[in-house]
A and B are shown apart, each in its own frame.
Chain A
Amino acid sequence: MIANPFEQAIVTEPRRVSASVPGLNEEPLERLLQLVEALCGAGLPRDARSPGARLLVSPAPGYGKSHLIGRLFGRLEGRATLVYLRPYTNPASCWRSILTKTVQEMEFPESAGASPLEAETQLEAFIHGVLVRMAVNGLRRGVIASRDPQTLIAYLEGACAAELCANETWKSLLRRRSGAFAELLRRQLHERGLHLRASPAGWLHVLVHFAYGGRDRPELRRACLDWLKASGVDDEEAQAIGLPPADRPPWDLAGEQAEELARARLADLCMLAGFFRPFVFCFDQTENYAATPELAASLGLVVEGLTAECVNQLTLLTANLTPWVNGVLPHWQDAHKDRIVKPYLELKGVNRGQAAELVRLRLAASGAPEAIAARLVEDAFLERFFAETSFLNVRDFLRRCGERFEELARRPDEPRRKPKEPAVEEFYRARLEKIRAQPRRRVFNPDALFWFVKHTAPEGCRPLQTRSRYLLHGWERGGRKVYFGLEAGHHPRRWQAIVREGEALNAAAPGCKLVFFRTPDLRPVPGARWKTASAIQAARGAFLHLFPLDPEELSRVYAAHDLHLDAVEGDIPLSLEEATAFVKAELRPLWERVLDPAPENWGAPGPPAAAEPAAKEPGSSLKARLRELLRREKFLSLQETLERLHPPATPEEIHSARAAIPEIQAYDGPRMTVFQWRPGRKG
């Protein structure tokens, strides 16, 4: 099989960038690296402020924005905490969306396909960095007493997170002297003119408990994550973590107050980053913010908020020129526009030398025959383009190379066929495969779910307005009303309030239902110790549909959302109408289950989960078989892998196993996913 090495012309996941052409868009990349470097000065904790946000702009799709972001992420691995932000969809919850995505990103290791079971997560590294640096500062200044501070400092600076997690003395010290450490934290930040919005004690308890809280009560670790995401935390769990009452968000927080809290939490995270590494917030696919004036305007407010209130971070926006100028900027206030620093970072296309190098890189990775390779880099082929212009759109060039490759790879007796653009289904399948391969994508994503609820309902549904703090949208079909909420939190009183609201709605319109999606990363509702458990279970048998989306269904919804985003961005040759028609048809069976009026079909409300389920690790036997197969074959498509693995495995299982094998790299193209064996590659 000779896969066309030019088919993957679109970077769909910045962390999965293949080798780069030297010099291509080097200037903006180097500039961004310098900007991040400027945030990494000496003297921890830092109080580094960027003069404003940065705009990376491209004359049109296909000049390599996402590829450059991938290279930036690659160069910054280990030096900054990188948060890749796809567009949020609800301006009323933009800060909660950004904070949730930030924390979700930090829950995973830096490497694209790595699983949190296999490598240290960014959050663990962050906490480790903050605690160690704070302690070292205290030792150096004599605030923390020690018989041999230098030895202790050397130990702390050399120890990894796992070592400290196993060090009972260290953990005990943090617990016993939590007050002193909180004061230490407060003072060290105060010296820089920084003041946490939540109390230092609250922060310390959460960070320490998350890092060292022990695996016997995993629900407390998840409560820490809820707090980090500015969600309500159950009183009993807050008590167990040690959260001061003042730091426990009200369980009924909603609207503006919830947004304020999320904004404050993010600002606090950025302050704490001064002990560790700066954040880089990358807003990609910004064309999607032009969907409504409110969405576009909210992005301006976000940029203003980040640049004015958050230290130790770089805000980067990527844009295609015309949609940015015509669709987003007109809805920004002048003060927000001024937050973007000039000169803008602009992308160029490939020049002739870079084009030849790009072709060589692609061919080298593909194992294409030498004869074909030679024809593709010959002067006559390149001269056709570069006689007319010195720079070419990268994607356009790759597409032309793909056509030429098909032509050269064609057997002499084979009739010439017109290059076929992938059908919409192929674009969707490519995105589906990509998400299946990435554990970090299969988490609660309120933006994608909100889009699913609002924009993909089947024909015959009439929209309903809601005036509720818990319900975002509604549909009516056949006289039955269905309301939707997106609640990732785990506070029993909040869920009790949701049930009460449902009871009121059901009384007013019998037969209506409330749907709340539950993803595998969310905690089971009701909780094991909730006093309100029976009321919630009763509601589940009447009007409350806690709809579990398993990893496969989640992948389908998110793949559909990605397809929509890419169609808007112009990254695929599909109109928005075509993409919308396809996703509606694809998601129809799911919608039928969502709209199902019969509670007996919603999944039996069994007893509350006694314990939180542990994350499932891919089987070692499958990993070993997959590793051996790729080591032998070097290069296989997903389909071939499915056929050759014995006993067989599902695509989902294969993706999960592959993610844990750093030597196997996945390439997602419009028509297929291909695995390549790359020994010596680190995860």
Chain B
Amino acid sequence: MASRNPAAARAAVLERLKAAGPAGLAKGKLLERLGSRGEEALKALLAAGGVANLGTRSRPRFVLPEHFRPLERACEHIEKKALGPKAAAEGALALFTREELTRGLTGEPKKKIPEAFARLFSEARLLRCKRGRNLYLIHREHLRHLVAREGRTEPHRAPAPYPPVVCEREAVLSAYRRLREKSGFSHVEIAALAREAGCPLAPLKEFILSESRAGRAVLGLGDWSLSTEETRAGAVELLGRPHLLVSFETG
């Protein structure tokens, strides 16, 4: 039954999205049985930023703001394709083009394709192979396994997903303190922090984002135009903007 109460409609929309999690919901599913109040509630929430659209205008996919991570979605999609069953079938490694790896991406993640590739290249998770004017891409996991199985005769299996690396909190904070002491500034470059802590960028960024949400870290925009590629690779996206710097509350 359609809700007559705007506040109740709004609460219903938010509850449904919370239950849906990162996957989000299409419009039809989201507003099922909520009627015009639901439409109004969704409109208001979108305008206020309480709900975000990961999809397109014609095929929206609504999520809560904390799941609005288009860049991460784009990276996941690309890696999934590059690591999928087609990647290593028939005893040979398949090389992919950019278009093949991004096929199926729509909406906001599609807009982040260039940044996603930049991140995956900088973290060496995707490798580039060139033949003439053509560029092909391969995930590094396939090379690792290819080298490892020299001399073996078993059929090649697609590797297990790379286990997530977790940054040791104290190692990161110690590295941060050293950098802060050296420069005198509270904000340090995220890329420099990764080097100092010996921590790969991807898990470090996750760590920083979670610390930011918990109020224990503050991201700083820095200056993109004056930064090197390496510094830019350390960018953490927050509220739609790449942040190059971080400071921690170290007590």
CA distance A71 to B42 in the complex (A): 42
Task: Assess A384 versus B223: contact at CB under 8 Å? Given A321-B245, A325-B183, A389-B218.
Answer: no
Q: B195 to nearest A CB, angstroms?
A: 16
Which residues in window 39-71 of B have CB below 8 A to A? Answer: 45, 47-50, 65-66
Contact of A321 among B65, B209, B218, B222 (CB under 8 A): B222
- A14 CB-CB contact with B under 8 Å: no
- B241 CB-CB contact with A under 8 Å: yes
Which residues in window 200-251 of B have CB below 8 A to A? Answer: 209, 212-213, 215, 218-223, 226-227, 238-239, 241, 244-245, 247
Q: A196 to nearest B CB, angstroms?
A: 36
Contact of B220 among A60, A407, A570 (CB under 8 A): A60
Tell me which residues across on chain A come within 8 A of B221, comparing CB atoms.
59-60, 62, 393, 396
CA distance A570 to B183 in the complex (A): 23
Tell me which residues across on chain A come within 8 A of B50, comparing CB atoms.
380, 383-384
- B142 CB-CB contact with A under 8 Å: no
Q: B107 to nearest A CB, angstroms?
A: 19
1/0 contact string of A375-391 vs chain B (CB within 8 Å): 10010110111011111
Which residues in window 343-358 of A have CB below 8 A to B? Answer: 343-344, 346, 348-349
Tell me which residues across on chain B come within 8 A of A407, comparing CB atoms.
47
Tell me which residues across on chain B come within 8 A of A326, comparing CB atoms.
226
The chain B residue sitting closest to A329, CB to CB, is: B183
CA distance A344 to B186 in the complex (A): 9
> Would you call B187 and A343 a contact (CB within 8 A)?
no
> Would you call A387 and B66 a contact (CB within 8 A)?
yes
> Would you call A346 and B223 a contact (CB within 8 A)?
no
Tell me which residues across on chain B come within 8 A of A348, comparing CB atoms.
218
Task: Assess A322 versus B49: contact at CB under 8 Å? Given A388-B66, A388-B212.
Answer: no
CA distance A579 to B140 in the complex (A): 45
CA distance A389 to B66 in the complex (A): 11
- B185 CB-CB contact with A under 8 Å: yes
CA distance A346 to B245 in the complex (A): 14
Tell me which residues across on chain A come within 8 A of B239, comparing CB atoms.
385, 388-389, 396
> Would you call A320 and B47 a contact (CB within 8 A)?
no
CA distance A387 to B14 in the complex (A): 15
The chain B residue sitting closest to A408, CB to CB, is: B47
CA distance A60 to B239 in the complex (A): 16
B49, B183, B215, B241: residue with the most chain A Cβ atoms closer than 10 Å: B49
Task: Assess A380 versus B212: contact at CB under 8 Å? Given A60-B220, A387-B66.
Answer: no
- Chain A interface size band reads 20 to 34
The chain A residue sitting closest to B223, CB to CB, is: A322
CA distance A385 to B186 in the complex (A): 22
> Would you call B187 and A59 a contact (CB within 8 A)?
yes
> Would you call B218 and A344 a contact (CB within 8 A)?
no
Q: A402 to nearest B CB, angstroms?
A: 14
CA distance A524 to B227 in the complex (A): 50
Q: A586 to nearest B CB, angstroms?
A: 24
Q: B17 to nearest A CB, angstroms?
A: 13
- B184 CB-CB contact with A under 8 Å: yes
Task: Assess A387 versus B213: contact at CB under 8 Å? Given A326-B226, A393-B221.
Answer: yes
Task: Assess A384 versus B184: contact at CB under 8 Å? Given A321-B220, A322-B223, A322-B226.
Answer: no
> Would you call A343 and B215 a contact (CB within 8 A)?
no
The chain A residue sitting closest to B245, CB to CB, is: A59
Tell me which residues across on chain A come within 8 A of B65, comparing CB atoms.
384, 387-388
CA distance A383 to B50 in the complex (A): 8
CA distance A349 to B243 in the complex (A): 14
Tell me which residues across on chain B come within 8 A of A321, comparing CB atoms.
185, 187, 220, 222-223, 245
21 contacts between A and B (CB under 8 A): A57-B185, A59-B245, A59-B247, A60-B222, A62-B221, A321-B187, A322-B222, A323-B226, A343-B184, A378-B48, A380-B49, A381-B49, A384-B48, A385-B239, A387-B66, A388-B65, A388-B213, A389-B218, A390-B218, A396-B239, A570-B223
Given contacts A323-B223, A343-B184, A383-B50, 11 further A-B contacts (CB under 8 A): A57-B185, A321-B223, A322-B227, A378-B48, A380-B45, A384-B49, A384-B50, A387-B213, A388-B238, A393-B221, A396-B239
The 3 tightest CB contacts between A and B, nearest first, are A59-B220, A384-B49, A60-B221
